[in-house]
Amino acid sequence: MARLNVTPTRMNLTSLKKRLETSSRGYKLLKDKQDELMRQFIELIRKNKDLREEVEGELSDSFKEFLVASAFMSPEFLEEAVSFPTQTVGVDIKTKNIMSVNVPVMEFKVDKQEGEEESIYPYGYAQTSAQLDEAIFGLNKVMDKLLRLAEIEKTCQLMADEIEGTRRRVNALEYRTIPDLKETIKYIRAKLEENERATITRLMKVKDMIAKEDVDEEEIEAI
């Protein structure tokens, strides 16, 4: 704790009391925010872990199908089969507010090539293997989960940054600002009480001196 460098006056005492009240209220609000952020962060981490395991499993299955397909098809034909997509995929990113943190909300925007039928396969079926079809189907199926995983991981990163910033502010209030204010208020009160006692002592001495002078005057008049 460190005492603030202020003059010990009643005006400063009143000002510091208001600052202490505001700091205490701010500390409580920030602590509640930190606790809620931590709760939501832990919940998102669990979702992220489960979703990542699910996505990695589905991607692994699709890659295995690609390996099998590449064993049955020539590299040139395999490359030609997947070189002309039927869809152009973009990502629409919006934001939503979670405890003062703007987190992304992602959604695919699919533009079909003109004249193409609605299909995820950019090739005919005559000269391709069933494994390639399964691999393409599996990748198409996992894309939404991949986007959701990216959204959750970015949200976790932003919330972790906000938690760290909130934690620093909470610690600054708890261990520095509030103790310093309390110490300074205590010091000013002690100083004011000391000055008040000194003033009372001086007044009592003056009163005694005046009373003594009155007694001396009465004795002189009596003589």
Instruction: Enter the tokens of residue 5.
Output: 């460098």
Q: Is the pLDDT score of 1 beyond 50?
A: yes
What is the Cα–Cα distance from 117 to 130, expressed in whole angstroms? 20
Q: What's the CA gap between 180 and 178, in Å, rounded?
A: 5
In the predicted structure, residue 215 carries a pLDDT above the cut 70: no
Q: Which of 83 and 102 is assigned the larger pLDDT?
A: 102
Q: What pLDDT score does 183 carry?
A: 93
207 vs 165, which has greater pLDDT? Answer: 165
Question: Where are the extended beta strands (E) located within 51-197?
Answer: 87-98, 101-112
Which of 111-120, 121-130, 187-196 has the largest mean confidence?
187-196
Residue 153 reports pLDDT greater than 80: yes
